[in-house]
Amino acid sequence: MKNEKTEFNLEDLNQKIFVQDEILALAKENSPRLLSKFRLVDPDFFKKLSGIQPNLKNSELIFCIYLKLNLTTKEIATYTFVTPKAIQNRKNRLRKKLNIASNIDIYKWFNEL
């Protein structure tokens, strides 16, 4: 019986890893499917975001996903075909919209959300 439970947990873990890899691949491709896939995987993330700021655009939600995935400014810039400076500006605008203080690490904020 114990082996069955361990086996199930390994299967569950493998499924989670597969889904994380799939989401990361969609992010790297700048795929339009990223938002819908992430909504399926983590619907609470969007509920919490809309509780803070209900008027976020899809492009802002996608940017939040990149931050939740802990991608660096340079990585996001590469995947979205914009400059790192543009990504930094988007981070600053998002901070204002979500009322994230400048002394708070934005990645930590998203991980704790």
6 band by pLDDT with thresholds 50, 70 and 90: very low
Report pLDDT digits (tens) over 79-89: 999 999 999 99
pTM of the complete model beyond 0.85? no
Distance, CA of 44 to CA of 68 (rounded, Å): 13
> So what's the pLDDT on residue 20?
83
Report pLDDT digits (tens) over 50-107: 999 999 999 999 999 999 999 999 999 999 999 999 999 999 999 999 999 999 999 9
- Please tell me whether residue 70 adopts helix, strand or coil conformation: coil
Half-sphere exposure of residue 72: CA atoms within 13 angstroms, side-chain side: 3
